[in-house]
Amino acid sequence: MNVGGEGWFVADAEGNARGPYTQAQLQAERDAGRVRDEHLVWTLRLSEWIPLKRAFGGQTAAEKAATPSQPQPASAPAKPPTTTKAPRPQPQAKSPKPRTPLPGTSPARSSDDWRESAGKPAPAKLAEALLAAGKDQEQARQRERVGEAVRRWFARQIDTVLLGGIGWALLALLGYRFGLWSLGYPSMELAQAPIIAVIVLVLAALPLEALLVGLFGRTPGRALLGLRVTNVHGAAPGLRAGAERSARVALYGQAMLVFPFVIFAYAIAGGSLVKNGRTHWDQALSLLVRSSPVNANQWWTALVVLAVAWALFIGDGWIKLAAQL
């Protein structure tokens, strides 16, 4: 059977694993005679160590060169066979084929145990250790991404309430001064039409967030929690990318805060971040969110800012301040 893929390990006579080799490198070692057909090999696609000849199959280059070509027909008739009988060769006892138990099974004899050899780590143990280390690293990365998802969600709440409250007050002031629209106090709008009030809050935060992200890559919530949006070169995204990102986040990442769609939006965005390390809108716009370590004092400060922002919004603090200007 032929097995494709990279990452081949070869077990030597002492039970040590050499590698990893690519398939082409391992074939070259086989052709050069440094790795023989009876050597055990292993790769991720195999459930056990198997002989090289079984893994690759066929003949080596040297064997192919030594294979005689097809005989040409003789011009003269063949001589009749002589009557002298050659001595009958004696049968030779075949050496028993080494038994290699499957992973997780007990060996037939202690000498058959492919997990231990001369007191040294066997190739299977080395391969298992490599796989375990890779799994541990991936789990550690996923735990870090879960923490980053929580941090980004917390920063988003601060920006929505703080920037949305300021934007609400500015929109109400402009509508009143120029007679364009009538936008009342947040407390009154929340009591009469809560869904519409929440949508207006998100829309009111968009221009301010897009401006801050595009020019600086930071918003109040991101600055408090050590987050910054950048392009692939580490610079601020720019106004166009900042505006498009803010719109995508409001629509796909928050579902305009409309219940229960907001729950599914948060779940999908968080799952993409944990699995891929980036949300789907950052992937589409080729943007990154760089994070720096935060301490307990920064978390407490962010919590206080979020509480004050909600108090100012629900208590009509921002719109009252705008009315006095």
* Dihedral (Cα; 168, 173, 174, 176), 10-degree rounding: 120
| Residue where one domain finishes, among candidates 42, 59, 76 | 59
Write the CA distances from 5 to 46, 55, 250, 320, integer angstroms: 11, 12, 43, 68
Q: Are residues 299 and 176 in the same domain?
A: yes
Q: Are residues 173 and 32 in the same domain?
A: no
Q: Are residues 50 and 145 in the same domain?
A: no
- In a 3-state reduction of DSSP, which class is residue 103? coil
Specify if 260 maps to a domain.
yes
Q: Are residues 148 and 54 in the same domain?
A: no
- In a 3-state reduction of DSSP, which class is residue 92? coil
Contact criterion met (CB below 8 Å) for 168 and 196: no
- Amino acid (one-letter) located at 277: G
Q: Are residues 30 and 156 in the same domain?
A: no
| Residue where one domain finishes, among candidates 30, 59, 88 | 59
Please list the pLDDT of the chain residue by residue as tens digits (325 residues). Answer: 344 446 788 887 676 777 788 888 888 888 877 888 888 888 877 777 888 888 876 554 445 544 454 544 444 454 544 444 444 545 555 555 544 444 444 444 444 444 444 455 556 666 677 777 777 777 888 888 899 999 999 999 999 999 999 999 999 989 888 888 888 899 999 999 999 999 999 999 999 999 999 999 999 999 999 999 999 999 999 999 999 999 999 999 999 999 899 999 999 999 999 888 899 999 999 999 999 999 999 999 999 999 999 999 999 999 888 878 7
Q: Are residues 43 and 170 in the same domain?
A: no
Specify if 111 maps to a domain.
no
The domain that holds 50 is classified in CATH as: 3.30.1490.40
Specify if 125 maps to a domain.
no
- Token pair belonging to 85: 């009988």
Specify if 318 maps to a domain.
yes
Cis peptide before 20 (omega within 30 of 0): yes
Q: How far apart are CA 304 and CA 221, in angstroms?
A: 12
Specify if 124 maps to a domain.
no
Q: What is the pLDDT of residues 81-121, one digit of tens each?
A: 444 444 454 555 555 554 444 444 444 444 444 444 445 55
Is this structure's pTM higher than 0.85?
A: no
Q: Are residues 158 and 22 in the same domain?
A: no
The number of beta carbons lying within 10 Å of the beta carbon of residue 317 is 16
Q: Are residues 157 and 21 in the same domain?
A: no
Helical residues (DSSP H) of the chain, grouped into ranges? 23-32, 52-56, 61-66, 123-178, 186-192, 194-216, 220-224, 239-248, 261-276, 280-285, 296-314, 317-323
**In 17-38, which positions are buried (b, 16+ CB within 10 angstroms) versus exposed (e)?**
bbbbbebeebbebbbeeebeee
Q: How far apart are CA 200 and CA 150, in angstroms?
A: 25
Q: Are residues 50 and 154 in the same domain?
A: no
| Residue where one domain finishes, among candidates 59, 81, 100 | 59
Specify if 169 maps to a domain.
yes
Contact criterion met (CB below 8 Å) for 237 and 287: yes
Q: Are residues 184 and 316 in the same domain?
A: yes
* Domain count for the chain: 2
Specify if 106 maps to a domain.
no
Specify if 40 maps to a domain.
yes
Q: Closest Cα to residue 216, out of 184, 239, 182? A: 239
Q: Are residues 154 and 34 in the same domain?
A: no
For residue 187, the enclosing domain spans 141-323
Q: What is the pLDDT of residues 6-45, one digit of tens each?
A: 678 888 767 677 778 888 888 888 887 788 888 888 887 7
